[in-house]
Chain A
Amino acid sequence: MSDKKKTDVPPLSWESGLQVKPVYTAEDVEQSGGFEGVGLPGEYPYTRGIHPMMYRQRPWTMRQYSGFGTAAETHERFLWLIKNGQTGLNVAFDLPTQCGLDSDDEMAAAEVGRVGMAVDTLADMEDAFAGIDLNKITVSLTINGSAVAIMAMYFALARKRGFELKDLRGNSQNDILKEFIGRGTWIFPVEPSIRLVTDTIEFCAKNVPRYSPVSVCGYHIRESGANPAQEMAYGLSIASAYVDQALKRGLEIDPVAAGITFNYDIHGNLWEQVSKFRAGRRLWAKILKEKYGASDPRGLRLRMIAGGGGGGLTIQQPENNIVRGAYYALASALSGTQTMALCSYDEAYTIPSEHAAKLSLRTMQILMHEIGLCDTVDPLAGSWFIETMTNRMERRIVEIMDELENQGGIIKAVAEGRVQAAVNAQAYELEKKLHTGEFKKVGVNIFEEEEEEREVEFHPYREEEARKQVDRLKRIRKERNDLAVKDTLERVRQAAKAGENVMPSIMDAVEAYASVGEVCGVLKEVFGTYQEPVRF
Chain B
Amino acid sequence: MSKPLRVLIAKPGLDGHDVGAKLVCRALMDAGMEVVYTGLRQSPEAIASAALQEGADVVGLSILSGAHIPLCRKVAEALKTKKIDDVVWVVGGNIPRQDHPALAELGVDGVFPTGASFESLIAFIREKVQS
| Residues of A participating in the B interface, judged by any CB pair closer than 8 Å | 95-96, 98-99, 101, 107-111, 114-115, 179, 182-185, 223-225, 314-316, 348-350, 424, 427-428, 431, 435, 444, 453, 456, 458, 461, 532, 534, 536
Contacts and interface: CB of A to CB of B under 8 A. Distances in A.
Given A107-B43, A184-B40, 6 more contacts: A99-B14, A179-B16, A349-B94, A424-B22, A458-B96, A534-B38
Contact of B66 (A98, A101, A114): A114
5 contacts: A98-B14, A114-B67, A184-B18, A185-B16, A431-B27
A532 B39 contact: yes
A315 B96 contact: no
Dominant SS among interface residues on chain A: loop
Q: Specify which of B15, B37, B66, B70 lies most central, judged by the most chain A CB atoms within 10 Å of its CB.
A: B66
Contacts of B15: 95, 115, 184
Interface in B1-34: 13-19, 22-23, 25-27, 29
B71 A315 contact: no
B65 A453 contact: no
Contact of A431 (B14, B23, B39): B23
Interface string B63-78: 0011100110000000
B19 A316 contact: no
Dominant SS among interface residues on chain B: loop
Contacts of B23: 424, 427-428, 431
Contact of B14 (A95, A350, A534): A95
B81 interface: no
Contacts of A424: 19, 22-23, 26
A99 B41 contact: yes
B26 A536 contact: yes
A110 B39 contact: no
B122 to A, nearest CB: 12
A98 B19 CA distance: 19
Given A349-B96, A534-B37, A536-B26, A114 B65 contact: yes
Given A349-B94, A349-B114, A111 B26 contact: no
A183 B14 contact: no
A111 B67 contact: yes
A179 B41 CA distance: 14
Given A109-B70, A111-B65, A315 B17 contact: no
